[in-house]
A and B are shown apart, each in its own frame.
Chain A
């Protein structure tokens, strides 16, 4: 039977809390892991912003501790390392563990009515592999000859031994490979679980949108992470064994014959789906949350699922828009431009559905709801600015400027982060049995969205003014020095944004141990995860529930007065 794999609850500390195979423990492990890395990546972002606003000034307080050899000054090599690792950490070790690792592990079995993932041991291995990847990546910061400096994209030949002679870049590639392996394991587990372990009655049409988003993300993970895995293998071989996959003959002086552009193709075949890997769960989560807190069925459930699926499919064929300036042929360039534009159609359907979901609702502006509306806002900004980047005529100027930085931070980083925050606050009561403080949560939300939007909108202005990204010092030439005032302004806002996250840390820690105890179903929603006891028993469900209703049947006319929701296990009263 779908839920019959019961084994005894472990009593040993290691089996219970460290090498646990229980999806709930693993979700919490991913949560802590992701939050720690989010913090590290965030500190890196603050260092980057400090350097941009005050080029060559020693970093106050922590500078002499972090960079003793330069007396607290971030030197250009360190700066390159910082933005490289900031990107890598935020994508692979911050957001992925939070929004896929934590939310996926937590939500999938509970929402579909399963007792655990279908491959619990693989699940455990998935976490410890990403943990190992994180360790390797962190260690790479301290090796001789410097850490990776080739950007998170790691383009050859900068990332081959032409530039980075030390082992930093190799270790970075190994870390990315390990993290990728972890994602594949997770993806296989999620997909098989969703396909095989749904509770009776939990049809595909009744899956909560969160699960849909995670399912599609898993498909992308399983299909496209191997591509970067192979690219990393080739890169490692180039670096360690002297092969020449990405090193052209002109550099090698005899031998060689590889192609650095090949790497860019491989990287972006993965890299573009990676954007959707992060954003699909976010879409799923807010699709649910908007409906939950507007107390209204998710508008166009099928359309939303269809749009997400369409994006999943399309994501594989638009990657070329990252390479418009690399000398792509005219035909390829135009095709990729067209295909990229087509992605806006499913995106519009999603926006349409979300906005209609809150339209004429009975909206409870709880913290998760605020984050969800925030996602619509920042993703709207980021998505629309994507048109500039997809259009070659404008991209030819805006490519590799701060415009792109603003664009992808809003689309991928901010949207996924907001959805992750929303999901954390939403699932917190079930996870830890306590409520997070709504007051601090709202304060955190407002102090996050305002500086965040202003930082990245300023980046649009900077990019349009022609400021290239990945520059250590914009004051070294007159052309850019006259734009420095915007860099300073963005830095002020970024520091505000950074310090606002301390509110979250405080709120999280405080609520984890001292928060108000939560009731079984504090949000009054009908999905299966909220029909269980709090705290959750080891096997989630004593009896596997039978699903008879959809996940979003809020405010059904036939519901009794004073109750606007219905559990998925309850029959809808006939109107």
Chain B
């Protein structure tokens, strides 16, 4: 071995060390994120946020779980499939599970590969509640997908305050509030199927896009979203109703749409009908209102042709936000503009806002009429500035 070969080693050595030192550096984990952060810890941080922790210390947008082992505790409880399912399971293995709706001894537990399902009975209220524990694997997958796809708007903690969600009104949903606007269900909370439909469809005119994720991914994300409910609220209160999708039935006005529109128009403006014009704009000239309703005592509110900003149950960083009822000739209706969509939206109401659930308060026939009327407004004027200007001019001019 000549001297020259070994001389060259110094260069090689230094390169080698640089590589090694870099590997060491790269494997070193920074202090920007807790290494083994559990969801509880995140929840605690979240709680600290809400109690006015200084912004400098927290920086909600910067808590990024780089290299964090995703770990979810085991007793996350979520809604189970429903009574039919429990019946079937108790038939399969009656010893482990009893289901007797009449007898009141419907309590029991069922464990399968994924989850633990439990049914309980509240004697005072005489209601059953059932829920399951989503398995940690499923929640972890759901959390991964949530972080990857949803967190830019809905926040890393699901608090509806992601970086891209800033300044958006209406703001992205906070999953700590257990309130969902466009669920199209009767009960306060939507079913998995309803949520999945919503995510797949998106909300028109917002950055909530139709998500091209697989059903499996969406199921996991939905389980995780449900898990984000605060303890004892929403999905984590066993007795809060999880509703069924509004049944629309058949459109009763097929072939008679003009009558439907006329009827809808009256209902829309009638204070003793649906009274939509209380918040949404009125679409008749105030002076012609009496004539339309056949009752001269009806008076239009101020600025009848504009919507009224309404309070909502939604908060952004603890601050309640107001919600604007749409002007159908102008704004994009979020949950779809087909007659069917409009029917479902009116029937189920928009949870957490001033828009109540009309199913039950109005007959299906009336609901369809309203849907037809709103649809006609959208079709005739939305996106047609000239037609709309003409129309609005007619509304404003005193007759």
Instruction: Please give the residue numbers on chain A whose beta carbons come within 8 Å of chain B beta carbons, in ascending order.
Output: 4-5, 7, 56, 69-71, 73, 75-77, 118-122, 125, 129, 132, 144-146, 161-163, 165-167, 170, 174, 177-178, 181, 185, 188, 236, 239-242, 251-255, 472-473
Contact = CB atoms under 8 A, between A and B. Distances in A.
B144 interface: yes
Contacts of B5: 5, 7, 120
Nearest to A241: B30
A178 B152 CA distance: 30
A253 B59 contact: yes
A253 B67 CA distance: 23
A252 B59 contact: yes
A415 B61 CA distance: 45
A254 B59 contact: yes
B200 to A, nearest CB: 12
B127 interface: no
Interface of B: 1-2, 4-5, 8-9, 11-12, 15-16, 18-19, 22, 26, 28-32, 55-56, 59, 61-62, 64-67, 70, 144, 147-149, 151-152, 156, 163, 212-214, 216-217
A72 to B, nearest CB: 10
B212 A473 contact: yes
Given A70-B216, A181-B19, A165 B156 contact: yes
Given A165-B66, A165-B147, A254 B56 contact: yes
9 contacts: A5-B4, A56-B212, A69-B216, A77-B148, A119-B11, A122-B12, A240-B29, A241-B30, A473-B212
Which of A69, A165, A254 counts the most B-chain CB atoms under 10 A from its CB? A165
A120 B1 CA distance: 14
Contacts of B28: 240
Contacts, number: 113
Contacts of B65: 145, 165
A306 to B, nearest CB: 31
Contacts of B156: 165
A7 B9 CA distance: 15
A119 B12 CA distance: 8
Nearest to B27: A174
A254 B62 CA distance: 10
Chain B contact residues: helix, strand, loop or mixed: helix
A76 B217 CA distance: 13
Nearest to B209: A476
Nearest to B61: A253
Given A119-B11, A181-B19, A473-B212, A174 B32 contact: no
A142 to B, nearest CB: 13
Given A251-B163, A253-B59, A178 B19 contact: yes
Nearest to A8: B1
A145 B213 contact: no
A170 B65 CA distance: 13
B214 A121 contact: no
Given A4-B2, A239-B66, A240-B66, A121 B8 contact: yes
Given A185-B15, A239-B66, 19 more contacts: A75-B217, A121-B12, A122-B15, A125-B15, A129-B19, A144-B70, A144-B144, A146-B144, A146-B148, A165-B65, A165-B147, A166-B66, A166-B144, A170-B67, A181-B22, A240-B66, A241-B30, A252-B61, A254-B59
A77 B214 CA distance: 12
Nearest to B16: A125
Contacts of A71: 214, 216
Contacts of A119: 8, 11-12
A473 B209 CA distance: 14
B192 to A, nearest CB: 18
Contact of A240 (B2, B30, B147): B30
B45 to A, nearest CB: 15
Contact of B62 (A7, A144, A252): A252
A491 to B, nearest CB: 19
